[in-house]
Copies of this chain bind each other. A is one copy, B any other.
Amino acid sequence: MKVHETLDSLITPALLVDGDVLEHNLTTMAMALPGARCRPHIKAHKTTELARRQRAIGHVGFTCATTREMVGLAAAGLGDDLLLANEVLDTKLLSVLANLDARVTVAVDSESTIEAAARAGLKECLIDVNVGLPRCGCLPDDAGRLADLARARGLEVRGVMGYEGHVVGLADRVEREHQTAECMAQLARAHLGVGGDVISAGGTGTFDCNHFATEIQAGSYALMDTTYGALDIPFQRALSVLATVVSVNARDGYVVADCGLKSLGMDHGNPSIDGATVWFCSDEHTTFSTDDAAPLPDVGTRVQVWPAHVDPTVAYHERMHVVEGGAVVDTWAVDLRGW
């Protein structure tokens, strides 16, 4: 999809990607964790065209959260090494994966998920290990048993996976490094019982703290958000939502822009607007006031709204516009949404 428009002609709300910042983020990661050292997580952007850029800069493998992301990347010829980093039980979906023209590895953390993968004809798996985040993953001491079980069911066990998701957002670097090391000690214990070449872990917040994983599953680094933007990591916010001021209330000192709960992931809280204070969001609106007694913008003014959380923001949008030097240079379909 390629649509050339001026920034002024975009229908709002519109997802914008700063092309230069994206380039900076991709380059910075590829220099820090070249090639297979980073396995970009597709869930953060759900956009094949962006994945192509991550592939072009050297990252051969991808991490996916859904089978649809896997199918889309395979169809686009990006299936060199696809990891489904979530447990899936649906045999229909797993069979689709087994028949992709791609190298497919799935996460398993129980007898049931191993059984489902084996029945679907999948060939390779990672043992997903719980390293402290209360989510999926087997107990570290159970990993070896599950690996044996997977091998007995004919699966190749490539190694282990363990996501320190409760650590990636810690503001204090020393604490973040310390807790990452503790998590990876658990993953190491699991790996002893499992074997295999792959130790897959980490995220954008621990990309340079996690020295144990063979590959880092970073996703947010490409587009970033205000939550991650508060950390001391060298990635910058590339993603914003362009909105239009549609109403001004001079008496009460606020204006209303036409982006809201259906164009912004809200689990990390309100979005931000430079030089302004966001009051609240409604379905299609964001109410805000200007800081430091700055004049209110007029009706029709375009504003850039910074989402607090990139992943569920992108998932609301059909497309993202790449902007360079104030011009829309490309439009990418957010084509890997849904289930």
Contact = CB atoms under 8 A, between A and B. Distances in A.
Interface of A: 9, 11-14, 43, 65-66, 86-90, 92-93, 109-110, 112-113, 130, 134-137, 139, 165, 244, 246-249, 251-252, 254, 256, 258, 261-263, 265-267, 279-285, 287, 298-300, 309, 311-312, 315-318, 338-339
Contacts of A279: 134
18 contacts: A12-B339, A65-B283, A86-B285, A87-B246, A88-B246, A89-B244, A110-B247, A110-B299, A113-B247, A113-B299, A134-B252, A134-B279, A134-B280, A135-B285, A136-B285, A261-B311, A261-B312, A317-B338
B338 A318 contact: yes
Contact of A89 (B88, B299, B311, B318): B299
A312 B312 CA distance: 11
A256 B110 CA distance: 13
A265 B261 contact: yes
Copy count, this protein chain: 2
Q: Which of A43, A90, A280 has the most CB of B within 10 A?
A: A90
Contacts of A93: 11
A280 B85 CA distance: 19
A149 to B, nearest CB: 14
Contacts of A90: 11-12, 244
A66 B132 CA distance: 43
A308 B139 CA distance: 32
Given A248-B110, A266-B266, A261 B299 contact: no
A interface SS class: loop
Contacts of A87: 246-247, 258
Contacts of A11: 90, 92-93, 339
Nearest to A285: B135
Contacts of A113: 246-247, 299
Contact of A316 (B134, B165, B309, B315): B315
A20 to B, nearest CB: 26
B89 A246 contact: yes
Of the listed residues A254, A263, A287, A339, the one surrounded by the most CB atoms of chain B closer than 10 A to its CB is: A339
A141 to B, nearest CB: 10
A65 B284 CA distance: 7
A5 to B, nearest CB: 11
Sorted from nearest, which 5 A-B pairs have the closest CB atoms? A136-B247, A266-B267, A87-B246, A112-B299, A261-B312
Among A65, A89, A134, find the residue whose CB has the most chain B CB atoms closer than 10 A. Answer: A134
Contacts of A316: 315-316
Contacts of A13: 339
Contacts of A112: 298-300
A136 B135 CA distance: 41
A195 to B, nearest CB: 22
A14 B299 CA distance: 39
A283 to B, nearest CB: 5
